[in-house]
Structure 1
Amino acid sequence: MTINLHDFDGEHSLTLNAGGLAADVAVAAAGHEPNGYFWEGLVQFAWPDIAEELDFDSEGGMFCAVGNPSDLTRLKAALEAVITSSEAVRDIIARAESSGFEFDD
């Protein structure tokens, strides 16, 4: 699976390798770079209730969120439905842009 949950010495994180995802074509078609920073912005816009509980440490090639296992498990389920669906990504991008949200990709 592309999304991984980690427990390293009691610090819990979720990572997503950016690139090679089914949704990448839709991200690029919307004028964005499908990198870790894009996915961080998407999470902050689409699931603000989860995002506010997390810390982020994304890079160009990887999205990374750090937090408690419960929030990370919820985020994993939400992301799994989006990274495999160009339609879901297009919908979130359209809602974000119409609300004035700017992705930092």
Structure 2
Amino acid sequence: MKPLKLLETTPGKYSLIMSTGGLPTDEAVSRSGHEPNGYFWDGVAEWVIRNQVPEVKGRVNSDSEAGMYCAYGTDREALATLGEAMARVANAPDTLLALITEAKNAGIEFDD
């Protein structure tokens, strides 16, 4: 699941986090006209949930900031599923570039 980490923050509550910057996809994000920050990755997560892991919709929440992507909730399985899907994108520049194009064409706004 690298570069994401799934943590139990308090008993029964979990956070899926990824520090931004230093990722294999940073250059691709910048080339696409975006900033590789947590808000950008929220848009990626929205697309991933909608198109790759729709079973987690409504089971996770988001609370990202500039330096970190963060999803959280009480459903560890949903967060783990999202983490695996996000890792496939975060580690593959070509996959991410294709996702950005598809997401923009579908009306996803990257709030970066």
TM-score range, shorter chain: over 0.9
Trace 1:1-105 onto structure 2 (pairs within 5 A). Answer: 1-10=2-11, 11-48=13-50, 49=54, 50-67=56-73, 68-105=75-112
Read off the aligned partner of 2:71 and give its amino acid letter. Answer: A
8 Å CA contact 1:43, 1:51 repeated in 2: no
What TM-score results when the alignment is normalised by the length of structure 1?
0.93
Q: 2 CA distance for matches of 1:64 and 1:19?
A: 14
Q: Which runs of 5+ in 2 are unaligned?
A: none
Q: Is the 8 A contact 1:15 1:63 kept in 2?
A: yes
Amino acid at match of 1:74: T
Compute the displacement of 1:45 (Å): 1.6
Q: Counterpart of 2:34 in structure 1: which amino acid?
A: H
Q: How many residues align?
A: 105
Counterpart residue identity of residue 52, structure 1: G
Identical-pair percentage: 36
Instruction: Find runs of 4+ consecutive structure 1 residues off by over 4 angstroms.
Output: none
State the Cα distance separating 1:101 from its structure 2 match: 1.7
The letter of the residue matching 1:24 is: D
Distance 1:92 1:13, change over 3 A: same
Give distance in 1, aligned partners of 2:80 and 2:107. Answer: 28
Give unmatched runs, 5+ long, in structure 1. none
